């Protein structure tokens, strides 16, 4: 059995796969970052075992995504990784909760064989040299999503993960060639790039840079500062009478504007990466995938698909090469990480162009495991 761990923005997702490559049905378990932070390491390990009905001592390999992953450039033995695979101890962009750190430390202390997946950053050798301009392109779980798509048989594609923030990744010939991070281009629901006013607010000391980043999503820009993504979506369906109905209609209009704006910027980000794929002479049809809590919705998929079709309708050079936008479940990152674990265990030396540096570890025996935990 193999486990993949997605350290996401809103939660931590685990996927369990069997040992057979022909059996691709994954079992999923999800825990909020807040709950994970409140548990002790041994409690987290017991929750994983209980959720899947397995003993961790029977798991052959775990593949972990953690934070930015910018301190490593290879898929590395987690037990040998320094500083949890990070370049700096300074908190990464976004909200620091502590749940991901607790899960990382729980896996490490358990002794279960595990590898750590790097993020997409300037030191990753498979990237197109021009895409190394930015220090960071995507966090490690995006490699899990990309690998899940690759395992479906696709080698030339763009994926866009749209949820609290938006991150897109480009793959050519089965290798990652570029990525656009959350703080660079398209906003997400909560987080996004800093515009002129936010830069001024940071300079005035009104906000830290991280607070500004976490205030730049479409929800807050359209006045939904106190609403979660789910609450905002509910506003579009809210019904009532008199004053309450008018309030609901105003909220629904704002939510509609927010999601239309988000679809526009996501389509623009994808089209930007299409320039890269065409320049690299991708020989096959280019697939486009959306995932994440927003990206997986059919309504959002249609909006992005319509925008891209308007762009390429008259472009004869691209005619027939850009296929309909497809969606993936938000669990794709965890599943892809589990697929990485399985293939690394079975001897794969490169994953999407990323070198594997794992020599293998003996699985911790049942008796030793029970004695310690």
pLDDT tier at 234, thresholds 50, 70, 90: very low
Question: Cβ distance 177 to 128 under 8 Å?
Answer: yes
Tally the domains of the chain.
1
pLDDT given at position 359: 87
State pLDDT tens for residues 53-83. 999 999 999 999 999 999 999 999 999 999 9
Lowest mean pLDDT among 175-184, 294-303, 317-326, 352-361: 317-326
**pLDDT above 90 for 227:** no
Pairing of strands 157-162, 287-291: parallel
Residue 241 covered by a domain: no
Global pTM value: 0.87
pLDDT given at position 237: 37
Residues 128, 19: Cα–Cα separation, whole Å: 34
Residue 137 covered by a domain: yes
Residues 284, 322: Cα–Cα separation, whole Å: 10
**pLDDT above 90 for 29:** yes
pLDDT given at position 91: 55
Provide mean pLDDT across the span 128-148.
97
* Token pair recorded at residue 111: 């002794």
Closest CA to 156 of 135, 131, 173: 173
Lowest mean pLDDT among 52-56, 73-77, 125-129, 312-316: 312-316
pLDDT tier at 371, thresholds 50, 70, 90: very low
**pLDDT above 70 for 95:** no
Residue 223 covered by a domain: no
pLDDT given at position 283: 61
- Please, what is the average pLDDT of the chain? 85
Provide mean pLDDT across the span 268-282.
90
**pLDDT above 90 for 135:** yes
pLDDT given at position 10: 75
pLDDT tier at 321, thresholds 50, 70, 90: low
pLDDT given at position 373: 38
Closest CA to 292 of 188, 196, 216: 188
Residue 342 covered by a domain: yes
Residue 207 covered by a domain: no
Provide mean pLDDT across the span 6-13.
86
Provide mean pLDDT across the span 223-239.
47
Long-range contacts of 23-30 (CB under 8 A, 24+ apart): 24/151, 24/339, 26/331, 26/334, 26/335, 26/338, 27/52, 28/331, 28/334, 28/335
* Token pair recorded at residue 359: 């020599």
Tell me 129's DSSP state: G
Residue 10: domain span: 2-186+263-372
Residue 109 covered by a domain: yes
Cα distances from 60 to residues 336, 339, 345, in angstroms, run 16, 12, 8
State pLDDT tens for residues 145-182. 999 999 999 999 999 999 999 999 999 999 999 999 99
Provide mean pLDDT across the span 139-143.
97
Residue 92 covered by a domain: yes
Provide mean pLDDT across the span 321-334.
87
pLDDT given at position 312: 72
Indicate the burial class of 16 (C-beta count within 10 angstroms; 0-12, 13-18, 19 or more): buried
Provide mean pLDDT across the span 194-207.
95
**pLDDT above 90 for 114:** yes
Residue 75 covered by a domain: yes
């Amino acid at each position: 059995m193999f486990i993949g761990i997605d350290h996401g923005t809103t939660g931590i997702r685990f996927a369990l796969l069997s040992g057979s490559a022909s059996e691709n049905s994954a079992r999923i378990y999800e825990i909020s970052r807040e709950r994970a932070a409140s548990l002790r390491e041994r409690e987290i390990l017991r929750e994983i075992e209980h959720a899947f009905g397995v003993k961790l001592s029977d798991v052959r390999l775990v593949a972990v995504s953690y934070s930015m992953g910018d301190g490593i450039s290879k898929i590395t033995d987690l037990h040998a990784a320094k500083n949890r695979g990070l370049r700096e101890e300074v908190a990464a962009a976004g909200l620091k909760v502590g749940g991901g750190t607790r899960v990382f430390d729980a896996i490490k202390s358990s002794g279960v064989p595990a590898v750590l997946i790097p993020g997409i950053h300037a030191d990753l050798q498979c990237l197109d040299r021009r895409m190394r301009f930015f220090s960071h392109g995507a966090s490690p779980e995006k490699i899990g999503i990309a690998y899940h798509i690759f395992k479906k048989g696709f080698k030339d594609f763009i994926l866009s993960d749209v949820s609290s923030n938006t991150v897109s990744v480009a793959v050519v010939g089965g290798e990652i060639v570029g990525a656009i991070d959350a703080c660079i281009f398209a906003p997400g629901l909560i987080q996004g790039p800093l515009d002129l006013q936010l830069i001024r607010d940071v300079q005035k000391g009104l906000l830290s840079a991280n607070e500004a980043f976490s205030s730049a999503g479409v929800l807050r820009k359209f006045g939904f500062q106190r609403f979660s993504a789910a609450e905002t979506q509910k506003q579009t369906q809210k019904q009532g009478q008199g004053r309450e109905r008018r309030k609901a209609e105003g909220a629904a209009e704002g939510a509609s504007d927010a999601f239309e704006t988000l679809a526009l910027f996501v389509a623009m980000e994808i089209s930007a990466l299409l320039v890269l794929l065409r320049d690299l002479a991708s020989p096959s049809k280019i697939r486009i995938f959306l995932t994440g809590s927003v990206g997986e919705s059919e309504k959002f998929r249609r909006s992005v698909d319509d925008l891209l079709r308007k762009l390429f309708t008259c472009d004869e050079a691209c005619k027939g090469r850009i296929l309909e936008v497809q969606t993936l479940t938000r669990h794709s990152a965890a599943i892809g990480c589990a697929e990485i674990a399985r293939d690394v265990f079975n001897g794969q030396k490169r994953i999407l162009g990323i070198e594997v540096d794992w020599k293998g570890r003996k699985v911790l025996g049942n008796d030793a495991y029970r004695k310690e935990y």
